[in-house]
Chain A
Amino acid sequence: MSAADLYWMAGAALTGLGVYGLLVSPHPLRKLLGLNLLGSGIFLIFGVIARRGAAAGLGGDPVPQALVITAIVVAFSATAIAIALLIRLHAEEGSASLDDPPAGNDAP
Chain B
Amino acid sequence: MTQPVFDMMLIALVLAAGAWSILARSMMTAVIVFIVYGLLLALAWVRLGAVDVALTEAAIGSGVTGMLLISAAARFARDPAALRLPSLSSRALAALLASGVAVALGSLALLLPGDAPSLAAETMRALPESGLGNPVAGVLFVFRAFDTMLEKVVLLLALLGVWSLARDEAWGGAPALKPLVQPQGVLPLLARTLPPIGLTYGIYMTWAGADVPGGAFQGGTVLAAMWILVVLAGLAMFPKVTSPWLRWAVAAGPVVFLLIGFAGFLSPGLFLAYPEGYAKPLIVVMELALTLSIAVILGLLVAGPPAGREAR
Contact = CB atoms under 8 A, between A and B. Distances in A.
Interface of A: 3-21, 23-27, 29-30, 32-34, 36-37, 40-41, 43-45, 47-63, 65-70, 72-81, 83-88, 90, 95-99
Contact of B31 (A13, A33, A73): A33
Given A63-B143, A63-B144, 10 more contacts: A14-B18, A23-B94, A54-B49, A55-B118, A55-B120, A55-B121, A58-B123, A62-B136, A65-B52, A66-B144
A53 B116 contact: yes
Contacts of A34: 22
Contacts, number: 278
Nearest to B46: A59
Contact of A50 (B27, B48, B90): B48
Which secondary structure dominates where chain A touches chain B?
A: helix
Contacts of A11: 105
A29 B10 CA distance: 27
Interface residues of B, number: 92
A58 B148 contact: no
B27 A27 contact: yes
Contact of B158 (A6, A29, A53, A80): A80
Interface of B: 3-4, 7-8, 11, 14-15, 18-19, 21-22, 27, 30-31, 34, 37-38, 41, 44-45, 47-50, 52-53, 56-57, 60-61, 64-65, 68-69, 72-73, 75-76, 79-86, 90-91, 94-95, 97-99, 101-106, 108-109, 112, 116-121, 123-125, 135-136, 138-140, 143-144, 147-148, 151, 154-155, 157-158, 161-162, 165, 217, 301, 304-305
B119 to A, nearest CB: 5
A11 B44 CA distance: 10
B86 A26 contact: yes
17 contacts: A16-B102, A19-B94, A19-B102, A37-B22, A45-B105, A48-B109, A54-B120, A60-B120, A63-B120, A66-B144, A67-B144, A70-B140, A72-B60, A72-B61, A73-B60, A79-B65, A99-B81
